[in-house]
Amino acid sequence: MTIETMTSKQRFLAALNGEALDRPCAASITSVVNFELMDIVGSHFPEANTDPEPMAELAASAHDVMGFDSVMPIFGIAQEATALGCVVDFSDPGNLPTPQYAPWADRAAEIRLPEGFPDSFLEDKYVKCSLDAIRLLKAHFGNEVMILGKVMGPWTLSYHVYNVQEFLMDTLADPERVRRSLDVLSEVPIMFAKAQLAAGADAIVWADHATGDLIRNTMYRDFLLWRHQALVPQVPAPVILHCCGRSLDRIEFFRDAGFDMYHFESANGAEKMVDGAQGKIRLAGNINNPQVLMQQGPAEVRAEVQRAIDAGVDIIAPECAVPLQTPVQNLKTIVEVCRENARTQ
């Protein structure tokens, strides 16, 4: 017979620390929300991105409906963007919000934080929404379920306020302007992370998309590695790096950057990533979204989850925010397989 002897939060923290578990941990690291889940809960976009009550209700359903060991109320990557001067469309009921105007794209623009920062940042509607949702989740779950916060690191924030194409071109054409952007924006994730922890988050997901799909691994080493080494220890809680895309060629840097865990994509083989981590950084992921979770069925999900468990991935999770068309049953299957792998008593 199998028996669960840990709470969800205990299980997540044990996995994060490389300790013994009663069964593999199944988690929502970035986002597991989808249209079907919205209908079940009665909380939909856009309100679940802009109002704390529906945001918290939808986030809580990752555990209450699907059984995941963690909840994440910040579903997208743009929650802090308006507070930095970006224009973001939060009105679309069928998509996650994304920045549409980058204030630093104009080369005449001064690279600096907005007037009134940090107070103006913390008073921003969408920042306050995230913090209030975390408070509601803490009141709902107490210490039973892992509550994750999320911040964008200086590289991803630069995509938002600088424009992705211009920023990446300037890594070669004007590296000093890139460094200035990273310098200025490094203050933001630290402050936002601390605010989320004060609101009740137990750990922070730090998204910095310095992916192999966009930049060489040496650019991560030269522009970001030392920054992460300086910034991450300032967060008084576990920090989980999220970086999409191909990253096997930079795991040697990620494992020395100070993060407790790396959330990685299915473009990277689980066995190779475990080998590359060398036990210096824990791993979460890497269940495929577009082919397996969205388009295939529970049998294929089951096989994918078992492969990740057998490879030694510490926390089993979708590789990134799941497509909104993903069926709830496929996500429940992740949890079911983890439960089936419980230690026998």
Out of 49-53, 211-215, 341-345, which region has the weakest mean confidence (pLDDT)?
Answer: 341-345
* pLDDT score for 60: 99
Can you give the residue range of the structural domain that contains 255? 8-340
Tell me the average pLDDT across 283-301. Answer: 98
pLDDT above 60 (res 210): yes
Q: Residue 296: which pLDDT band, with cuts at 50, 70 and 90?
A: very high
* pLDDT score for 343: 77
Distance of CA 327 to the CA centre of its chain: 20
- Dihedral over Cα of 200, 138, 331, 334: its sign: positive
In this predicted model, what pLDDT tens digit does every residue of 139-186 receive, in sequence order?
999 999 999 999 999 999 999 999 899 999 999 999 999 999 999 999
2 within domain boundaries: no
Please report, for the domain that includes residue 315, its CATH number.
3.20.20.210
Tell me the average pLDDT across 306-322. Answer: 98
The helix/strand/coil state of 179 is helix
Mean pLDDT of all residues in the chain? 96
24 within domain boundaries: yes
213 within domain boundaries: yes
Distance of CA 225 to the CA centre of its chain: 19
102 within domain boundaries: yes
Instruction: State the pTM of this model.
Output: 0.97
In this predicted model, what pLDDT tens digit does every residue of 118-132 receive, in sequence order?
999 999 999 999 999
Number of domains forming the structure of the chain: 1
* pLDDT score for 244: 94
71 within domain boundaries: yes
**DSSP codes, 113-162:** PPTTTTHHHHTSHHHHHHHHHHHHHHHHHTTSSEEEEEEE-HHHHHHHHH
| Pure H helices in the chain | 8-16, 35-41, 47-50, 52-64, 119-122, 125-141, 154-162, 164-173, 175-185, 187-199, 217-219, 226-231, 251-254, 270-277, 294-295, 298-311, 328-340
pLDDT above 70 (res 345): no
pLDDT above 90 (res 117): yes
In this predicted model, what pLDDT tens digit does every residue of 179-201 receive, in sequence order?
999 999 999 999 999 999 999 99
Tell me the average pLDDT across 227-240. Answer: 99
* pLDDT score for 1: 45
77 within domain boundaries: yes
168 within domain boundaries: yes
pLDDT above 80 (res 17): yes
3 within domain boundaries: no
